[in-house]
Chain A
Amino acid sequence: MDFKDLASRLGIDDEDFMELVELFVTTSLSDIDKIKKGFQEGNCDDAAAASHSIKGASGNLGFDDIYKLSMEMEMQAKQGSLENFENFISDLESMVTALNSI
Protein backbone atom coordinates (compact mmCIF):
# COMPACT_ATOMS: atom_id res chain seq x y z
CA MET A 1 0.00 0.00 0.00
CA ASP A 2 1.39 3.38 -1.04
CA PHE A 3 0.75 5.75 1.83
CA LYS A 4 2.19 8.72 0.01
CA ASP A 5 -0.24 8.16 -2.83
CA LEU A 6 -3.19 7.77 -0.46
CA ALA A 7 -2.20 10.93 1.40
CA SER A 8 -1.91 12.97 -1.77
CA ARG A 9 -5.22 11.65 -3.06
CA LEU A 10 -6.83 12.89 0.14
CA GLY A 11 -5.09 16.22 -0.25
CA ILE A 12 -3.31 16.06 3.10
CA ASP A 13 0.32 15.93 4.21
CA ASP A 14 2.12 12.59 4.73
CA GLU A 15 2.67 13.48 8.34
CA ASP A 16 -1.02 14.18 8.96
CA PHE A 17 -1.90 11.02 7.11
CA MET A 18 0.39 8.90 9.32
CA GLU A 19 -1.19 10.43 12.39
CA LEU A 20 -4.62 9.49 11.06
CA VAL A 21 -3.46 5.95 10.27
CA GLU A 22 -2.21 5.53 13.83
CA LEU A 23 -5.51 6.79 15.15
CA PHE A 24 -7.34 4.48 12.76
CA VAL A 25 -5.41 1.44 13.98
CA THR A 26 -6.08 2.25 17.64
CA THR A 27 -9.80 2.90 17.22
CA SER A 28 -10.28 -0.04 14.84
CA LEU A 29 -8.58 -2.48 17.22
CA SER A 30 -10.92 -1.29 19.93
CA ASP A 31 -13.87 -1.71 17.53
CA ILE A 32 -12.66 -5.20 16.64
CA ASP A 33 -12.74 -6.06 20.35
CA LYS A 34 -16.36 -4.89 20.40
CA ILE A 35 -17.16 -7.07 17.36
CA LYS A 36 -15.50 -10.04 19.07
CA LYS A 37 -17.54 -9.45 22.20
CA GLY A 38 -20.73 -9.09 20.17
CA PHE A 39 -19.93 -12.27 18.32
CA GLN A 40 -19.29 -14.18 21.56
CA GLU A 41 -22.51 -12.89 23.11
CA GLY A 42 -24.52 -13.29 19.92
CA ASN A 43 -25.25 -9.54 19.97
CA CYS A 44 -25.72 -8.58 16.32
CA ASP A 45 -26.45 -4.89 17.02
CA ASP A 46 -23.15 -4.33 18.79
CA ALA A 47 -21.25 -6.19 16.08
CA ALA A 48 -23.00 -4.12 13.38
CA ALA A 49 -22.32 -0.81 15.16
CA ALA A 50 -18.61 -1.53 15.59
CA SER A 51 -18.34 -2.73 11.97
CA HIS A 52 -20.08 0.46 10.87
CA SER A 53 -17.50 2.55 12.67
CA ILE A 54 -14.57 0.76 11.00
CA LYS A 55 -16.35 0.97 7.66
CA GLY A 56 -16.76 4.77 7.90
CA ALA A 57 -13.19 5.47 8.88
CA SER A 58 -11.54 3.05 6.43
CA GLY A 59 -13.65 4.33 3.56
CA ASN A 60 -12.63 7.91 4.17
CA LEU A 61 -8.95 7.03 4.42
CA GLY A 62 -9.06 5.01 1.22
CA PHE A 63 -8.41 1.57 2.78
CA ASP A 64 -10.65 -0.18 0.28
CA ASP A 65 -10.13 -3.81 1.42
CA ILE A 66 -10.93 -3.01 5.03
CA TYR A 67 -13.90 -0.92 3.88
CA LYS A 68 -15.38 -3.75 1.79
CA LEU A 69 -14.95 -6.36 4.51
CA SER A 70 -16.36 -4.21 7.30
CA MET A 71 -19.29 -3.21 5.11
CA GLU A 72 -20.10 -6.85 4.46
CA MET A 73 -19.87 -7.58 8.19
CA GLU A 74 -22.13 -4.66 9.05
CA MET A 75 -24.77 -5.65 6.49
CA GLN A 76 -24.75 -9.27 7.57
CA ALA A 77 -24.96 -8.39 11.27
CA LYS A 78 -27.79 -5.94 10.58
CA GLN A 79 -29.66 -8.83 8.98
CA GLY A 80 -29.17 -10.80 12.18
CA SER A 81 -26.45 -13.20 11.14
CA LEU A 82 -22.98 -13.56 12.61
CA GLU A 83 -22.09 -16.50 10.42
CA ASN A 84 -18.44 -16.70 9.41
CA PHE A 85 -17.59 -13.86 11.78
CA GLU A 86 -14.72 -15.79 13.31
CA ASN A 87 -12.89 -15.68 9.95
CA PHE A 88 -14.01 -12.15 9.21
CA ILE A 89 -12.68 -10.92 12.53
CA SER A 90 -9.34 -12.60 12.09
CA ASP A 91 -8.97 -11.22 8.51
CA LEU A 92 -9.95 -7.76 9.65
CA GLU A 93 -7.53 -7.86 12.55
CA SER A 94 -4.60 -8.85 10.36
CA MET A 95 -5.45 -6.15 7.80
CA VAL A 96 -5.56 -3.49 10.49
CA THR A 97 -2.40 -4.61 12.29
CA ALA A 98 -0.61 -4.79 8.94
CA LEU A 99 -1.00 -1.01 8.74
CA ASN A 100 1.12 -0.72 11.87
CA SER A 101 4.17 -2.22 10.29
CA ILE A 102 4.33 0.25 7.43
Chain B
Amino acid sequence: MEDKQPYTVLAVDDNLLNLKLIEKSLSKEGYRIFSADNGPDARKIADKEKPDLILLDIEMPGENGFEVIKKLKDDAGTNSIPVLFLTGVSEVDSKLKGFELGAVDYIIKPFHPLEVLARVRIHLKLSIATNSLIAGQANKLKQVTEAQVSMMPTPEENPKALFGVFYQALEEAGGDFYDILNISEKITGYFVADFSGHDIKISYMTASVKALLAQNCTPVYSPAESIKLINDVLVEILPEGKYLTACYMHINRTTKKLTIINSGHPPVVCMPKKGDPYLIKMDGDVLGMFKDAHFGVQSFDVEEGDKFFVYSDGLVESAENKVTWASGADSLLPTYKKVAKVPYDKAPTELVKQLFGEDSLLEDDIVVLCVEV
Protein backbone atom coordinates (compact mmCIF):
# COMPACT_ATOMS: atom_id res chain seq x y z
CA MET B 1 0.00 0.00 0.00
CA GLU B 2 1.25 3.45 -0.80
CA ASP B 3 2.05 5.64 2.19
CA LYS B 4 0.05 8.83 2.45
CA GLN B 5 2.00 12.06 2.35
CA PRO B 6 2.32 13.28 5.96
CA TYR B 7 1.00 16.70 6.93
CA THR B 8 3.81 19.17 7.30
CA VAL B 9 4.26 21.79 9.99
CA LEU B 10 6.83 24.54 10.03
CA ALA B 11 7.87 25.49 13.59
CA VAL B 12 9.57 28.85 14.03
CA ASP B 13 11.15 29.78 17.35
CA ASP B 14 14.50 31.27 18.26
CA ASN B 15 14.55 28.97 21.27
CA LEU B 16 16.18 25.75 20.15
CA LEU B 17 14.66 23.77 22.98
CA ASN B 18 11.13 24.82 22.12
CA LEU B 19 11.75 23.80 18.53
CA LYS B 20 12.96 20.39 19.64
CA LEU B 21 10.00 19.94 21.95
CA ILE B 22 7.53 20.76 19.16
CA GLU B 23 9.41 18.55 16.73
CA LYS B 24 9.43 15.59 19.09
CA SER B 25 5.80 15.78 20.08
CA LEU B 26 4.41 16.40 16.59
CA SER B 27 6.64 13.97 14.68
CA LYS B 28 5.63 11.26 17.12
CA GLU B 29 2.05 11.73 15.84
CA GLY B 30 3.05 11.38 12.21
CA TYR B 31 3.61 15.00 11.19
CA ARG B 32 6.65 16.03 9.25
CA ILE B 33 8.34 19.01 10.87
CA PHE B 34 10.45 21.75 9.34
CA SER B 35 12.07 24.11 11.78
CA ALA B 36 13.60 27.56 11.62
CA ASP B 37 15.09 29.68 14.40
CA ASN B 38 14.64 33.01 12.61
CA GLY B 39 12.18 34.86 10.38
CA PRO B 40 14.01 35.00 7.04
CA ASP B 41 14.81 31.25 7.15
CA ALA B 42 11.21 30.53 8.08
CA ARG B 43 9.93 32.45 5.06
CA LYS B 44 12.36 30.68 2.76
CA ILE B 45 11.22 27.27 4.01
CA ALA B 46 7.55 28.27 3.84
CA ASP B 47 7.98 29.34 0.25
CA LYS B 48 9.86 26.21 -0.80
CA GLU B 49 8.06 23.52 1.19
CA LYS B 50 4.54 25.00 1.42
CA PRO B 51 3.84 23.46 4.83
CA ASP B 52 0.23 22.70 5.80
CA LEU B 53 0.53 24.86 8.92
CA ILE B 54 3.00 27.25 10.58
CA LEU B 55 3.69 27.62 14.30
CA LEU B 56 5.33 30.97 14.79
CA ASP B 57 6.95 32.53 17.82
CA ILE B 58 6.33 36.28 18.08
CA GLU B 59 9.28 37.37 20.14
CA MET B 60 12.38 36.69 18.09
CA PRO B 61 15.51 38.75 17.56
CA GLY B 62 15.87 40.38 14.15
CA GLU B 63 12.69 39.85 12.14
CA ASN B 64 9.97 39.22 14.73
CA GLY B 65 6.89 37.04 14.32
CA PHE B 66 4.64 39.94 13.27
CA GLU B 67 6.92 40.87 10.43
CA VAL B 68 7.09 37.23 9.38
CA ILE B 69 3.27 36.81 9.30
CA LYS B 70 2.89 40.04 7.38
CA LYS B 71 5.36 38.93 4.73
CA LEU B 72 3.84 35.45 4.53
CA LYS B 73 0.37 36.93 4.04
CA ASP B 74 1.62 39.35 1.39
CA ASP B 75 3.11 36.50 -0.62
CA ALA B 76 0.58 34.71 -2.86
CA GLY B 77 2.54 31.49 -2.51
CA THR B 78 2.21 31.34 1.26
CA ASN B 79 -0.82 33.46 2.19
CA SER B 80 -3.25 30.57 2.49
CA ILE B 81 -1.11 28.61 4.97
CA PRO B 82 -2.69 28.85 8.43
CA VAL B 83 -0.40 30.48 10.99
CA LEU B 84 -0.68 29.85 14.74
CA PHE B 85 1.45 32.11 16.85
CA LEU B 86 3.08 31.51 20.19
CA THR B 87 2.74 34.33 22.65
CA GLY B 88 3.10 35.13 26.35
CA VAL B 89 -0.02 34.98 28.53
CA SER B 90 -0.14 38.66 29.43
CA GLU B 91 0.38 40.05 25.96
CA VAL B 92 -3.18 40.95 24.92
CA ASP B 93 -2.02 43.49 22.37
CA SER B 94 0.18 40.97 20.68
CA LYS B 95 -2.69 38.48 20.38
CA LEU B 96 -4.89 41.09 18.75
CA LYS B 97 -2.12 42.19 16.45
CA GLY B 98 -1.47 38.57 15.45
CA PHE B 99 -5.12 38.08 14.47
CA GLU B 100 -5.18 41.37 12.67
CA LEU B 101 -2.24 40.24 10.57
CA GLY B 102 -4.04 37.06 9.58
CA ALA B 103 -3.09 34.41 12.14
CA VAL B 104 -5.80 31.80 12.77
CA ASP B 105 -5.08 31.16 16.44
CA TYR B 106 -2.52 31.53 19.19
CA ILE B 107 -0.92 29.27 21.76
CA ILE B 108 0.07 30.73 25.10
CA LYS B 109 3.62 30.24 26.32
CA PRO B 110 4.81 28.30 28.13
CA PHE B 111 2.95 25.85 25.97
CA HIS B 112 2.07 22.27 26.64
CA PRO B 113 3.02 19.96 23.76
CA LEU B 114 -0.35 18.21 23.93
CA GLU B 115 -2.12 21.53 23.54
CA VAL B 116 0.06 22.35 20.56
CA LEU B 117 -0.86 18.98 19.08
CA ALA B 118 -4.58 19.54 19.68
CA ARG B 119 -4.52 22.99 18.10
CA VAL B 120 -2.47 21.83 15.14
CA ARG B 121 -5.03 19.06 14.57
CA ILE B 122 -8.06 21.31 14.74
CA HIS B 123 -6.57 23.91 12.40
CA LEU B 124 -5.47 21.30 9.91
CA LYS B 125 -9.02 19.93 9.93
CA LEU B 126 -10.42 23.41 9.35
CA SER B 127 -7.95 24.02 6.60
CA ILE B 128 -8.77 20.70 4.91
CA ALA B 129 -12.49 21.49 5.09
CA THR B 130 -11.98 24.99 3.68
CA ASN B 131 -9.76 23.73 0.90
CA SER B 132 -12.21 21.04 -0.12
CA LEU B 133 -15.02 23.59 -0.09
CA ILE B 134 -13.03 25.87 -2.35
CA ALA B 135 -12.08 22.98 -4.62
CA GLY B 136 -15.72 21.90 -4.75
CA GLN B 137 -16.93 25.36 -5.65
CA ALA B 138 -14.22 25.83 -8.24
CA ASN B 139 -15.15 22.50 -9.76
CA LYS B 140 -18.82 23.43 -9.89
CA LEU B 141 -18.08 26.80 -11.46
CA LYS B 142 -15.91 25.02 -13.99
CA GLN B 143 -18.83 22.77 -14.87
CA VAL B 144 -21.10 25.79 -15.35
CA THR B 145 -18.52 27.42 -17.57
CA GLU B 146 -17.99 24.25 -19.56
CA ALA B 147 -21.74 23.88 -19.89
CA GLN B 148 -22.05 27.43 -21.20
CA VAL B 149 -19.33 26.86 -23.77
CA SER B 150 -21.06 23.82 -25.16
CA MET B 151 -24.52 25.24 -24.63
CA MET B 152 -26.14 23.41 -27.48
CA PRO B 153 -24.29 20.29 -28.52
CA THR B 154 -24.30 19.70 -32.28
CA PRO B 155 -24.97 16.39 -34.04
CA GLU B 156 -21.48 16.64 -35.57
CA GLU B 157 -19.92 16.65 -32.10
CA ASN B 158 -22.03 13.68 -31.04
CA PRO B 159 -22.16 11.27 -34.00
CA LYS B 160 -22.96 8.30 -31.77
CA ALA B 161 -26.06 10.03 -30.41
CA LEU B 162 -27.73 9.69 -33.87
CA PHE B 163 -29.81 12.84 -33.72
CA GLY B 164 -30.78 15.83 -35.81
CA VAL B 165 -31.94 19.14 -34.44
CA PHE B 166 -33.79 22.29 -35.35
CA TYR B 167 -33.21 25.08 -32.86
CA GLN B 168 -34.40 28.63 -33.04
CA ALA B 169 -34.61 31.15 -30.23
CA LEU B 170 -36.62 34.35 -30.65
CA GLU B 171 -34.34 36.18 -28.24
CA GLU B 172 -30.77 35.66 -27.18
CA ALA B 173 -31.89 34.28 -23.88
CA GLY B 174 -34.37 31.83 -25.26
CA GLY B 175 -36.53 29.76 -22.98
CA ASP B 176 -35.98 26.55 -24.93
CA PHE B 177 -32.90 24.43 -24.77
CA TYR B 178 -31.73 20.91 -25.24
CA ASP B 179 -28.80 18.79 -24.20
CA ILE B 180 -27.23 15.51 -25.22
CA LEU B 181 -25.71 13.35 -22.50
CA ASN B 182 -23.25 10.71 -23.51
CA ILE B 183 -23.72 8.52 -20.46
CA SER B 184 -21.65 5.66 -21.86
CA GLU B 185 -20.59 4.27 -25.21
CA LYS B 186 -24.07 2.89 -25.93
CA ILE B 187 -26.24 4.91 -23.56
CA THR B 188 -27.36 8.42 -24.44
CA GLY B 189 -29.68 10.87 -22.75
CA TYR B 190 -31.66 13.51 -24.67
CA PHE B 191 -33.07 16.42 -22.75
CA VAL B 192 -35.42 19.06 -24.12
CA ALA B 193 -36.78 21.76 -21.87
CA ASP B 194 -38.65 25.01 -21.93
CA PHE B 195 -38.24 27.59 -19.18
CA SER B 196 -41.22 29.62 -18.11
CA GLY B 197 -40.62 33.18 -19.27
CA HIS B 198 -37.90 34.76 -21.38
CA ASP B 199 -35.25 36.83 -19.71
CA ILE B 200 -31.54 37.02 -19.32
CA LYS B 201 -31.67 35.13 -16.02
CA ILE B 202 -32.68 32.10 -18.03
CA SER B 203 -29.31 31.78 -19.72
CA TYR B 204 -27.73 31.47 -16.30
CA MET B 205 -30.37 28.97 -15.22
CA THR B 206 -29.91 27.01 -18.42
CA ALA B 207 -26.24 26.69 -17.55
CA SER B 208 -27.17 25.48 -14.08
CA VAL B 209 -29.57 22.87 -15.46
CA LYS B 210 -26.93 21.67 -17.90
CA ALA B 211 -24.41 21.37 -15.08
CA LEU B 212 -26.97 19.41 -13.06
CA LEU B 213 -27.62 17.12 -16.02
CA ALA B 214 -23.91 16.48 -16.37
CA GLN B 215 -23.65 15.70 -12.67
CA ASN B 216 -26.70 13.52 -12.32
CA CYS B 217 -27.23 11.71 -15.62
CA THR B 218 -24.73 8.97 -14.98
CA PRO B 219 -24.85 5.18 -15.17
CA VAL B 220 -25.26 5.15 -11.38
CA TYR B 221 -28.77 6.63 -11.44
CA SER B 222 -31.87 5.46 -13.26
CA PRO B 223 -33.36 8.14 -15.57
CA ALA B 224 -36.16 8.74 -13.04
CA GLU B 225 -33.65 9.12 -10.22
CA SER B 226 -31.57 11.58 -12.26
CA ILE B 227 -34.57 13.81 -12.94
CA LYS B 228 -35.73 13.59 -9.32
CA LEU B 229 -32.28 14.70 -8.11
CA ILE B 230 -32.22 17.57 -10.59
CA ASN B 231 -35.74 18.60 -9.56
CA ASP B 232 -34.78 18.70 -5.88
CA VAL B 233 -31.85 21.03 -6.55
CA LEU B 234 -33.87 23.23 -8.90
CA VAL B 235 -36.62 23.64 -6.30
CA GLU B 236 -33.95 25.18 -4.07
CA ILE B 237 -32.21 27.39 -6.61
CA LEU B 238 -34.87 28.62 -9.04
CA PRO B 239 -36.42 32.01 -8.32
CA GLU B 240 -40.02 31.86 -7.18
CA GLY B 241 -42.48 31.23 -9.98
CA LYS B 242 -39.79 29.90 -12.34
CA TYR B 243 -40.04 26.35 -13.53
CA LEU B 244 -39.46 24.32 -16.65
CA THR B 245 -41.30 21.74 -18.62
CA ALA B 246 -38.97 19.03 -19.78
CA CYS B 247 -38.67 15.70 -21.46
CA TYR B 248 -35.79 13.38 -20.80
CA MET B 249 -35.34 10.44 -23.14
CA HIS B 250 -32.82 7.77 -22.24
CA ILE B 251 -31.78 5.18 -24.80
CA ASN B 252 -29.68 2.11 -24.13
CA ARG B 253 -28.66 0.93 -27.59
CA THR B 254 -27.28 -2.35 -26.22
CA THR B 255 -30.41 -3.51 -24.41
CA LYS B 256 -32.63 -1.63 -26.91
CA LYS B 257 -34.51 -0.10 -24.02
CA LEU B 258 -35.91 3.42 -24.09
CA THR B 259 -37.14 5.37 -21.10
CA ILE B 260 -38.97 8.66 -21.21
CA ILE B 261 -39.45 10.96 -18.25
CA ASN B 262 -42.00 13.67 -18.86
CA SER B 263 -42.49 16.71 -16.69
CA GLY B 264 -45.32 18.80 -18.04
CA HIS B 265 -43.89 18.65 -21.55
CA PRO B 266 -45.56 17.93 -24.93
CA PRO B 267 -45.67 14.19 -25.72
CA VAL B 268 -42.82 12.47 -27.54
CA VAL B 269 -43.70 11.28 -31.03
CA CYS B 270 -42.65 7.75 -31.84
CA MET B 271 -42.13 6.93 -35.48
CA PRO B 272 -41.57 3.16 -35.69
CA LYS B 273 -39.54 1.78 -38.57
CA LYS B 274 -42.70 0.03 -39.66
CA GLY B 275 -46.05 1.59 -38.89
CA ASP B 276 -47.63 4.95 -38.28
CA PRO B 277 -46.35 7.66 -35.92
CA TYR B 278 -48.05 7.96 -32.55
CA LEU B 279 -47.84 10.06 -29.40
CA ILE B 280 -46.46 8.81 -26.11
CA LYS B 281 -48.74 10.67 -23.72
CA MET B 282 -47.96 10.97 -20.01
CA ASP B 283 -48.90 13.23 -17.16
CA GLY B 284 -46.15 14.72 -15.03
CA ASP B 285 -45.47 17.73 -12.81
CA VAL B 286 -43.27 20.54 -14.07
CA LEU B 287 -39.59 20.58 -13.07
CA GLY B 288 -38.24 22.81 -10.30
CA MET B 289 -41.57 23.65 -8.68
CA PHE B 290 -42.42 20.93 -6.15
CA LYS B 291 -40.18 19.00 -3.83
CA ASP B 292 -42.35 15.87 -4.05
CA ALA B 293 -43.06 16.18 -7.77
CA HIS B 294 -44.39 13.21 -9.69
CA PHE B 295 -43.13 12.69 -13.22
CA GLY B 296 -44.48 10.57 -16.03
CA VAL B 297 -42.22 7.57 -16.64
CA GLN B 298 -42.46 5.01 -19.43
CA SER B 299 -40.01 2.39 -20.55
CA PHE B 300 -40.33 0.17 -23.59
CA ASP B 301 -38.36 -1.91 -26.03
CA VAL B 302 -37.31 -0.32 -29.28
CA GLU B 303 -35.76 -1.47 -32.54
CA GLU B 304 -32.94 -0.15 -34.60
CA GLY B 305 -34.29 2.39 -37.07
CA ASP B 306 -37.15 3.57 -34.82
CA LYS B 307 -37.26 7.35 -34.64
CA PHE B 308 -38.40 9.61 -31.84
CA PHE B 309 -39.24 13.30 -31.92
CA VAL B 310 -38.79 15.36 -28.79
CA TYR B 311 -39.76 19.01 -29.14
CA SER B 312 -40.86 22.12 -27.33
CA ASP B 313 -44.36 23.54 -27.29
CA GLY B 314 -43.46 26.20 -29.88
CA LEU B 315 -43.83 23.50 -32.53
CA VAL B 316 -47.44 22.76 -31.76
CA GLU B 317 -48.85 25.80 -30.03
CA SER B 318 -50.11 28.86 -31.72
CA ALA B 319 -51.18 31.90 -29.75
CA GLU B 320 -52.61 33.32 -32.94
CA ASN B 321 -54.79 30.29 -33.57
CA LYS B 322 -55.34 29.55 -29.87
CA VAL B 323 -53.96 26.06 -30.12
CA THR B 324 -52.31 24.45 -27.10
CA TRP B 325 -50.08 21.42 -27.32
CA ALA B 326 -52.62 19.27 -25.55
CA SER B 327 -54.87 19.51 -28.57
CA GLY B 328 -52.23 20.56 -31.12
CA ALA B 329 -50.00 17.52 -30.77
CA ASP B 330 -52.55 15.07 -32.20
CA SER B 331 -53.22 17.22 -35.22
CA LEU B 332 -49.54 17.06 -36.20
CA LEU B 333 -49.36 13.32 -36.67
CA PRO B 334 -50.17 13.47 -40.39
CA THR B 335 -47.28 15.92 -40.86
CA TYR B 336 -44.87 13.50 -39.14
CA LYS B 337 -46.00 10.86 -41.59
CA LYS B 338 -44.83 13.12 -44.41
CA VAL B 339 -41.29 13.18 -43.04
CA ALA B 340 -41.19 9.45 -42.25
CA LYS B 341 -38.69 8.74 -45.01
CA VAL B 342 -36.46 11.74 -44.26
CA PRO B 343 -33.19 10.74 -42.53
CA TYR B 344 -33.09 11.61 -38.82
CA ASP B 345 -30.47 14.34 -39.24
CA LYS B 346 -32.67 16.29 -41.69
CA ALA B 347 -36.09 15.41 -40.28
CA PRO B 348 -36.41 18.28 -37.75
CA THR B 349 -35.78 21.01 -40.33
CA GLU B 350 -38.05 19.31 -42.82
CA LEU B 351 -40.80 19.02 -40.20
CA VAL B 352 -40.62 22.73 -39.35
CA LYS B 353 -40.69 23.55 -43.07
CA GLN B 354 -43.78 21.41 -43.56
CA LEU B 355 -45.54 23.05 -40.61
CA PHE B 356 -44.60 26.70 -40.96
CA GLY B 357 -43.59 27.04 -44.59
CA GLU B 358 -40.15 27.99 -45.91
CA ASP B 359 -39.62 31.48 -44.44
CA SER B 360 -42.44 32.12 -42.04
CA LEU B 361 -41.94 34.15 -38.84
CA LEU B 362 -42.01 31.94 -35.80
CA GLU B 363 -44.20 32.86 -32.84
CA ASP B 364 -42.10 31.17 -30.19
CA ASP B 365 -38.78 29.51 -29.52
CA ILE B 366 -38.64 26.13 -31.15
CA VAL B 367 -36.50 23.10 -30.57
CA VAL B 368 -37.11 19.83 -32.36
CA LEU B 369 -34.93 16.80 -31.85
CA CYS B 370 -35.16 13.67 -33.94
CA VAL B 371 -33.37 10.66 -32.53
CA GLU B 372 -32.85 7.33 -34.21
CA VAL B 373 -32.28 4.17 -32.23
| CA gap between A55 and B109 in the complex, in Å | 10
Most interface-central of B14, B15, B16 (chain A CB within 10 A): B15
**B114 touching A57, Cβ below 8 Å:** no
**A16 touching B18, Cβ below 8 Å:** no
| CA gap between A13 and B114 in the complex, in Å | 13
Q: Looking across the interface, which residue of chain A has its beta carbon closest to that of B24? A: A16
**A60 touching B25, Cβ below 8 Å:** no
Chain A CB within 8 A of B169 CB:
no
| CA gap between A19 and B28 in the complex, in Å | 15
Taking a contact as CB atoms closer than 8 A, the residue among A23, A24, A67 that contacts B110 in the complex is A67
**A61 touching B17, Cβ below 8 Å:** yes
Chain A CB within 8 A of B21 CB:
yes
Q: Total interface residues on B, using CB and 8 Å?
A: 19
**B61 touching A49, Cβ below 8 Å:** yes
Q: Looking across the interface, which residue of chain A has its beta carbon closest to that of B14? A: A53
**B16 touching A11, Cβ below 8 Å:** no
Instruction: For the A-B complex with A12-B24, A23-B20 known, give 16 more contacts whose Cβ atoms are closer than 8 Å.
Output: A10-B21, A10-B112, A11-B113, A11-B117, A12-B25, A12-B28, A20-B17, A20-B20, A20-B21, A27-B16, A52-B59, A55-B110, A57-B18, A59-B109, A60-B109, A61-B17
Q: Can you list 11 A-B contacts (CB < 8 A)?
A: A12-B28, A13-B28, A20-B24, A23-B17, A24-B17, A27-B15, A56-B17, A59-B109, A60-B110, A60-B113, A67-B110
Contacts A16-B24, A20-B24, A52-B59; A11 near B17 (Cβ below 8 A): no
| CA gap between A55 and B15 in the complex, in Å | 10
CB contact list, B1-42 vs A, under 8 A: 14-18, 20-21, 24-25, 28
| CA gap between A61 and B346 in the complex, in Å | 83
Contact mask A44-76 → B, CB, 8 Å, 1/0?
Answer: 000001001101111111000001000000000
- The smallest C-beta distance from A67 to any residue of chain B, in angstroms, reads 7
Which of chain B's residues have a CB closer than 8 A to the CB of A13?
A: 28
CB contact list, B47-80 vs A, under 8 A: 59, 61
